[in-house]
């Protein structure tokens, strides 16, 4: 009896001990789990916050024609100075007039948009050394103050004041190389993005011919430019295509950025398909049992892609010329889906690209989105000012500015393709 009783007592003690050990291990496991979750929160990358926007308005005499009355230029400056998100989020804004030669003048106007708007006229623009315009110096200042939590906005006609009418292109080339160096140096210190916006405005005033060292009175439409510098995350957030294209006088947009090989979701689908195929169970971008259409229309399928992480305009993403495709395939259509693509469950497609071949469909297929400079950049440039009183679209020497920017980003972007989508088509 005593032996049985002792055994029972020992059994109870052992059970209680195991129970406490189990609870302890459970608590330990829970503790570790909480700790890991806590670390995950700590390691999670916080989104960047905008702290300050610095505006630089070129106010040399060549810009006076843009402030001769209410027009597109005045509207755009007013809109940017009181951008709704900046007002709503109480973003600190600082306004400068900028001009001058080698000794560039950066004139602080203040932090009140109303004060800035009150000076968008010829008397208000007369501040600092209005006789000269050092575009390279303006870029240097705007770039130096952009990045991190700050965005810089430079508004200019983007005409170099070279002061050498006998050899203007030599001077332009020299200025362009210096600007390129400034960009390369700045790109080495962060993910700097540059947006160039071309806009048109009524212009009534003197046009200063940099190549002829003279001036011509104009009363016509002329282009001007808004250049925005800052971290890509911030520029993507605050300056999307929809907002930029809503600016009065808007014409064209270009973005220059360091390419981030981030994951862009994509998947083959049977939308707009011709012929037949099956999806591999483990990889939906591997098509098996592929056969061409029995009526001789070839083989075709569509690719669902989520481009929402890219800041490029929709026109860029829909342009067939901006893609490269391997093998015998060609792009038939690029469009935005108007209904849910039911076979795609892991992401929401923003675009569909239909590809087709009349030849053998088998093998590896690669579709690449290239990094292409918009054609309007080169089309805007002019190497003469002889017919300026009839020219409403071109900017003298514009290519020397844009070449400096594109060459700097090309130097930093060892990989010039934005994304590559790979597929395998098997019998």
pLDDT tens-digit map of 94-150: 999 999 888 888 899 999 999 999 999 999 999 999 988 888 889 889 998 998 999
Neighbours of 338 (CB within 10 A): 6
125 is written with which tokens?
């623009």
Beta strands in 257-321 (DSSP E): 266-274, 276-279, 286-291, 299-305
Q: 304: helix, coil or strand?
A: strand
Residue with token string 């040399």: 60
Residue with token string 């039911």: 342
Rounded to whole angstroms, the Cα distance separating 401 from 406 reads 9
Rounded to whole angstroms, the Cα distance separating 12 from 17 reads 9
What's the predicted TM-score (pTM) here? 0.81
- What is the overall mean pLDDT for the chain? 86
Q: How many CA atoms lie within 13 A of 256 on its CB side?
A: 25
210 closest CA partner among 374, 401, 418: 401
Residues of the chain with pLDDT under 70: 1-46, 162-169, 211-213, 261-262, 415
């Amino acid at each position: 009896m005593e032996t049985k009783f002792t055994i029972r007592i020992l059994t109870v003690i052992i059970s209680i001990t195991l129970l406490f050990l189990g609870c302890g291990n459970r608590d330990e496991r829970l503790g570790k789990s909480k700790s890991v979750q806590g670390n995950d929160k700590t390691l999670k990358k916080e989104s960047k916050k905008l702290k300050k926007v610095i505006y630089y308005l070129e106010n040399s005499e060549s810009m006076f024609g843009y402030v001769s009355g209410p027009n597109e230029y005045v509207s755009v400056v007013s809109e940017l100075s009181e951008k709704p998100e900046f007002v709503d989020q109480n973003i600190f804004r600082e306004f400068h007039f900028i001009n001058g030669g080698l000794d560039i003048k950066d004139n602080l106007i203040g932090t009140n948009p109303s004060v800035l708007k009150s000076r968008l006229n010829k008397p208000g623009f007369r501040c600092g050394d209005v006789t000269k315009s050092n575009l390279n110096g303006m870029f240097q200042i705007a770039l130096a103050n952009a990045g991190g939590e700050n965005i810089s906005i430079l508004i200019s006609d983007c005409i170099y004041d070279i002061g050498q009418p006998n050899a203007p292109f030599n001077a332009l080339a020299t200025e362009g190389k210096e600007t390129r160096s400034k960009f390369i140096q700045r790109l080495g210190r962060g993910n700097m993005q540059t947006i160039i916006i071309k806009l048109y405005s009524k212009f009534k005033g003197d046009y200063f011919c940099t190549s002829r060292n003279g001036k011509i009175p104009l009363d016509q439409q002329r282009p001007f430019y808004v250049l925005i510098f800052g971290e890509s995350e911030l520029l993507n957030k605050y300056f999307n295509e929809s907002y930029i294209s809503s600016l009065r006088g808007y014409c064209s947009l270009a973005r220059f950025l360091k390419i981030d090989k981030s994951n862009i979701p994509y998947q083959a689908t049977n939308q707009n398909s011709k012929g037949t195929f099956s999806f591999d169970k483990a990889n939906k971008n591997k098509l098996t049992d592929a056969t061409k259409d029995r009526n001789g229309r070839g083989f075709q399928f569509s690719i669902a892609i989520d481009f929402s992480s890219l800041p490029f305009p929709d026109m860029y993403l829909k342009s067939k010329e901006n893609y490269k495709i391997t093998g015998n395939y060609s792009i038939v259509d690029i469009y935005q889906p108007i209904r849910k693509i039911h076979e795609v469950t892991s992401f929401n497609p923003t675009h569909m690209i239909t590809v087709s071949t009349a030849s053998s469909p088998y093998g590896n297929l690669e579709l690449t989105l290239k990094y292409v400079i918009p054609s309007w950049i080169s089309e805007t440039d002019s190497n003469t000012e002889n017919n300026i009183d009839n020219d409403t679209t071109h900017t003298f020497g514009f290519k020397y500015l844009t070449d400096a920017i594109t060459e700097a980003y090309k130097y930093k972007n060892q990989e010039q393709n934005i994304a590559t989508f790979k597929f395998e088509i098997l019998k």
